Amino acid sequence: MTLYQLEVFLAVVQTGSFTRAGELLHASQSGVSHTIGDLEKELGIILFTRSRSGVTLTDTGEQILVHVREIVNHSNQINQVAAVSRDVNGETIRIGAFASFSAHVLPGISQAFRNHYPGVELLLFEGNYEEVKAWIKAGAVDLGFLADSSDDGLDIVHLLTDPYAAILPANHRLKEHDIISIEQLTHEPFLSLKSGCERLVMRAFQENGLTLNKQFEVTEHSTILSMVEAGIGVAVIPSMILPAVPLNMMIKPLSPPINREIDLAVLSMQNVSPAVSEFIKFTQMQTSSSCYPAR
């Protein structure tokens, strides 16, 4: 039994005639008849009842039709995947991302994508939110990952929500509280990140008429974690940045909650290459099926 025989079988079912099936397949009537005859001989059954008005499926043919459609459909899907792969392999995708995303989420996406398309090269450009946005607009990257972005003329796909958490030294006076309110942090020595994610924190305090006792501003995530562990102060940071196993610190949810929304952005979805289109699909699939941030 060959795939071609099954495709001829479906064409005869669709048209109700060996002649019209031949026209559909660009084959002769005798060729179609011969193919069906060979298939019937191989299976040892009669698939069609022949008459002057055309051909109709036998009862057994009706039962087989369901399975033939599945086989041909799966074959078409395999060919589509192969066609995409041929178009995709050999391309290079330039990706812009901010540090915490490229460190904690992007590796899993990249590995899954490479498993399917080993011939695609991925190039990472790491920067802050504004740098990534500028790279997308200038065409320096094919796609970028942003947080709390307005559209700014870009095409945006929302990926996930990253909640912020309060981090406190292990022996802090608030350690017994299950949830920390931002009011409770007002007079604490506050350590602030300068990577861009601090804007939501500043906005939350301002909207509630609160001020911060800001002591230090740092750019590296590892630095702020080390300073909290050392007891220098407290901080409010995205969960994505948190260590999997915190050492000498307490991690507490916030009230009211502060969240950053993480998006994928391109200049135009209509103009992306096949490789970029596939990468976007993989990114959506990975972020929707996994619990990010995984901490």
Domain spans, the chain: 3-88, 92-159+261-289, 161-260
Residue 4 CB coordination number (10 Å): 12
Choosing among 3.40.50.150, 1.25.40.10, 3.30.540.10, 3.40.190.10, the CATH entry for 161-260 is: 3.40.190.10
Number of residues in the chain: 295
- Fold type of domain 3-88: Arc Repressor Mutant, subunit A (1.10.10)
Whole-number Cα distances in Å, 70 to 25, 29, 75: 19, 25, 9
Q: At a CB cut-off of 8 Å and minimum separation 6, what does 53 contact?
A: none
Q: Report the DSSP beta bridge partners of residue 122.
A: 93
Instruction: Determine the pLDDT at residue 155.
Output: 92
Give the containing element (helix H, strand E) for 22. Answer: helix 18-25
Give CA 271 to chain center in angstroms. Answer: 19
Instruction: Determine the pLDDT at residue 247.
Output: 74
Residue 294 CB coordination number (10 Å): 11
Instruction: Determine the pLDDT at residue 294.
Output: 44
Single pTM value for the model:
0.66
Instruction: Determine the pLDDT at residue 289.
Output: 55
Burial pattern 253-269, b for ≥16 Cβ within 10 A else e, equals ebeeebebebbbbbbee
Backbone angles phi and psi of 158, in degrees to 5: -75, 135
Please spell the DSSP secondary structure of 33-75, one letter per residue.
Answer: HHHHHHHHHHHTS--EEEETTEEEE-HHHHHHHHHHHHHHHHH
Tell me the residue type at 136: I
Is domain 92-159+261-289 given the CATH code 3.40.630.20 in the classification?
Answer: no
Q: Residue 112's closest CA among 292, 254, 281, 291?
A: 281
Q: What is the pLDDT along the chain (295 residues), one digit of tens a residue?
A: 888 888 888 888 888 888 888 888 888 888 888 888 888 899 998 998 888 877 888 898 888 898 988 888 887 777 666 666 666 667 889 999 998 899 889 998 999 888 888 888 899 999 988 899 999 998 999 999 998 777 678 999 999 999 999 999 999 999 899 999 999 999 899 998 887 778 888 889 888 898 888 888 888 888 999 999 999 999 999 998 887 666 788 999 999 999 999 999 999 998 888 888 889 988 998 887 555 554 4
Please spell the DSSP secondary structure of 105-141, one letter per residue.
Answer: THHHHHHHHHHH-TT-EEEEEE--HHHHHHHHHHTSS
Identical fold for domains 92-159+261-289 and 161-260, yes or no, is yes
Backbone angles phi and psi of 257, in degrees to 5: -65, 150
Tell me the residue type at 35: T
